[in-house]
């Protein structure tokens, strides 16, 4: 995926561990910890299809955001994460054996796109943050077109997922309290290209439409650059 103005720093080219030997174990562990340490609320979880492929797109303000989706959705999910998480010893122990797809930012990562497309062709779920990195403002920042490219190339439905409350997790735990966290699953939608090849400008239109759908699920103060009225879609 491409992230403008951001480039990965890595010592080696990382590859997707498709076998994911510890995914099941980590899922069980995360669900136990999530229920013990947080007050979790999942809204409209039924919008995630029980079968077949889908791209799960999330807002991203905290390290905990992807984990909450993995806790709530009782299907195997393949997450995509920046390659820095593979380089960092504090996170490598989990992301590599979990079967996370590494994304080398700064240019189009063909390897990452092909890996994600393989998951979708096999009927799986792919978790992605369209913004490409955590927002430091706590609100949505401009998204990149990589996830729209993936969705249009694979004809896969997209489920927008709004996560609220994760910034409060660590402060609450320090006070020996459980933070309130809400995860809202929006209705699936498709980026219909009518079978034609689309250019980058059209991908940007699809990306804008998707991000406004996500913003609509968030409180006003978290909508960020997508807080105004959505533009008319013309593709």
Q: What is the pLDDT of residues 105-124, one digit of tens each?
A: 766 788 999 999 999 999 99
- Asked whether residue 68 carries a pLDDT value surpassing 80, the answer given is yes
pLDDT at 109: 85
pLDDT at 85: 92
Is the domain spanning 23-223 CATH 3.40.1130.10? The answer is yes
78 contact partners, CB below 8 Å, separation of at least 6: 20, 99, 100, 101, 116, 119, 124, 125, 126, 127
Q: Which among 100, 58, 61, 96 has a CA at the least distance from the CA of 77?
A: 100
- Asked whether residue 3 carries a pLDDT value surpassing 70, the answer given is no
Calculate the average pLDDT of the chain.
Answer: 92
Helix, strand or coil, per DSSP, at residue 11: coil
pLDDT at 79: 97
Helix, strand or coil, per DSSP, at residue 95: helix
The sign of the torsion formed by the CA atoms of 232, 3, 118, 46 equals: negative
Contact between 97 and 45 (Cβ < 8 Å): no
Q: What is the pLDDT of residues 200-227, one digit of tens each?
A: 999 999 999 999 999 999 999 999 999 9
pLDDT at 52: 97
pLDDT at 5: 43
pLDDT at 177: 97
CA distance 84 to 224: 25
- Asked whether residue 82 carries a pLDDT value surpassing 70, the answer given is yes
pLDDT at 197: 85
Is the pTM of the predicted complex or chain greater than 0.75?
A: yes
């Amino acid at each position: 995926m491409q992230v403008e103005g951001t480039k990965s720093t890595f010592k080696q080219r990382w590859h997707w561990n498709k076998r994911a030997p510890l995914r099941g174990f980590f899922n069980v562990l995360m669900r136990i910890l999530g229920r013990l340490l947080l007050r979790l609320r999942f809204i409209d979880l039924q919008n995630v299809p029980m079968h077949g492929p889908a791209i799960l797109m999330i807002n991203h303000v905290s390290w905990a955001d992807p984990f909450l989706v993995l806790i709530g959705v009782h299907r195997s999910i393949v997450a995509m994460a920046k390659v820095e998480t593979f380089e960092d010893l504090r996170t490598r122990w989990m992301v590599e054996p979990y079967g996370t797809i590494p994304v080398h930012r700064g240019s189009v990562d063909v390897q990452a796109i092909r890996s994600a497309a393989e998951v979708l062709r096999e009927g799986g779920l792919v978790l992605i943050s369209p913004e490409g990195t955590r927002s430091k403002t706590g609100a949505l920042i401009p998204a990149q077109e990589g996830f729209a490219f993936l969705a249009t190339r694979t004809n896969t439905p997209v489920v927008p997922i709004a996560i609220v409350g994760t910034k409060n997790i660590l402060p609450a735990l320090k006070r020996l309290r459980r933070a309130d966290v809400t995860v809202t699953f929006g209705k699936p939608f498709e980026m219909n290209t009518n079978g034609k090849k689309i250019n980058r400008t059209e991908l940007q239109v699809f990306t804008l439409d998707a991000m406004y759908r996500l913003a609509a699920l968030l409180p006003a103060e978290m909508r960020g650059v997508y807080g105004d009225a959505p533009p008319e879609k013309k593709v």
